[in-house]
Structure 1
């Protein structure tokens, strides 16, 4: 059996064991279906919920908030990270405020964004931008400053201009660090969108979690959680694939199994 086949078999076996343990738990302890339904009952409800007329709207809204916020957050993080890495003065001026914004609990910032931007997608996009921005900025700073001194001296001797430094050295040196930040930020982006939707929204998977809790619908809550987990997994795998393709030349890829 190939390596891929063994991994696939292991995942399938693990999933089957999980379902058996789940069914055994609800059967042995007589768990009410309102608290936790068995796997067969839940998957029947799961399919019914997916066929709801507005489910596509909820999924699309969350994906939109994540995608737009993630892209803007990454771009802002890259720009600010590069500027702060190149200027000690800018770093001293802006870092305290950026750190304060980062350490503030996001669940406490979400209501402010709702007041400022309303219940629509804009407030959730803003929250996603905030949570994505910091790791991208920090990793960009680390990457830009990882350029070895002898390489910097060589560029100085060759009289390379700013663009040549950026394209030929700074990007290759900083790319591993930046892409590492991108992978981390994918999970942050989903968290930011869901927090915003749970605080106040008209649509989205986070909104369904709150709706399910208010109506005591465990199936709706579990469905939303599963869909969010699948989104997170796909985004993480996509970022990992991009990292592998863009960093074929880098030594870090030699140890990836």
Structure 2
């Protein structure tokens, strides 16, 4: 408890210092409010923007795109990762194409998805799924192949069937690697949704960023960015809690927050 108390105080102190430096920068250099408002002025504008009737729609849509795309991307990443880890032939067949899609800039793929799926949520979900899929797949492959050879030999001696191997060895051994991929993918999911909304959308937090830039409304831009950052932080913390619950037995939890 003392550890978490000190940690909370450190986070609070850092936030206070940041706000103080922000206010000092605005005051000393006389930054116009159209470029960067002070923290108190921004707080007032933030509350006004949050009180707008359609803000819940923008937030809800972005959360929906992130959640559905993340879920589908995780499921497909786990499935393909397991199949490719167990079959060298499948890995050689599909890996070049998967890597080719992965290295393509997502901002260049987003317009294609908009043409194929329209301006609605489907195109953003597809983009989120795409950016989440690869890290989950790679970490699943690494995790499945991390099973030690002597453990494989033991299972062979015990004549364990495929289902027993999967639940008793492959899943426990691969979970640390998979959860690392999940934690990384939480940030990718937000990036995917925002890119899609910024390229073309009728609503969403990414749409508000573009709207704010077109109307020179710095407060709207900062509000959308702040909300996206909070969503990202919450998703990361949730994935961290899930990791700690699933991997209580693992040595990595002795040093992870």
Q: Which string of whole-angstrom CA distances, capped at 9 and with x for unpartnered residues, describes residues 212-235 of structure 1?
A: 000000000000000000000000
> Gaps spanning 5+ residues in structure 1: where?
none
Per the alignment, residue 237 of structure 1 pairs with 237
Per the alignment, residue 141 of structure 1 pairs with 141
Per the alignment, residue 83 of structure 1 pairs with 83
Per the alignment, residue 74 of structure 1 pairs with 74
Q: Which string of whole-angstrom CA distances, capped at 9 and with x for unpartnered residues, describes residues 88-139 of structure 1?
A: 0000000000000000000000000000000000000000000000000000
Aligned-partner Cα distance in 2 for 1:149–1:13: 49
Per the alignment, residue 251 of structure 1 pairs with 251
1:172 is aligned to 2:199? no
Aligned-partner Cα distance in 2 for 1:38–1:127: 35
Aligned residues: 257
Q: Which string of whole-angstrom CA distances, capped at 9 and with x for unpartnered residues, describes residues 15-72 of structure 1?
A: 1111111111111111110000111111000000001100000000000000000000
RMSD: 0.9
> Gaps spanning 5+ residues in structure 2: where?
none
1:256 is paired with a residue of what secondary structure?
A: coil
Q: Which string of whole-angstrom CA distances, capped at 9 and with x for unpartnered residues, describes residues 134-192 of structure 1?
A: 00000000000011111111111111111011011100000100011000000000000
Per the alignment, residue 198 of structure 2 pairs with 198
Per the alignment, residue 34 of structure 2 pairs with 34
Deviation at 1:13, TM superposition (A): 1.6
**Deviates further, 20-29 or 123-132:** 20-29
Per the alignment, residue 63 of structure 2 pairs with 63
After TM superposition, the score normalised by the length of structure 1 is 0.99
Per the alignment, residue 224 of structure 1 pairs with 224
**Deviates further, 21-30 or 176-185:** 21-30
After TM superposition, the score normalised by the length of structure 2 is 0.99
Aligned-partner Cα distance in 1 for 2:104–2:252: 33
Deviation at 1:256, TM superposition (A): 2.3
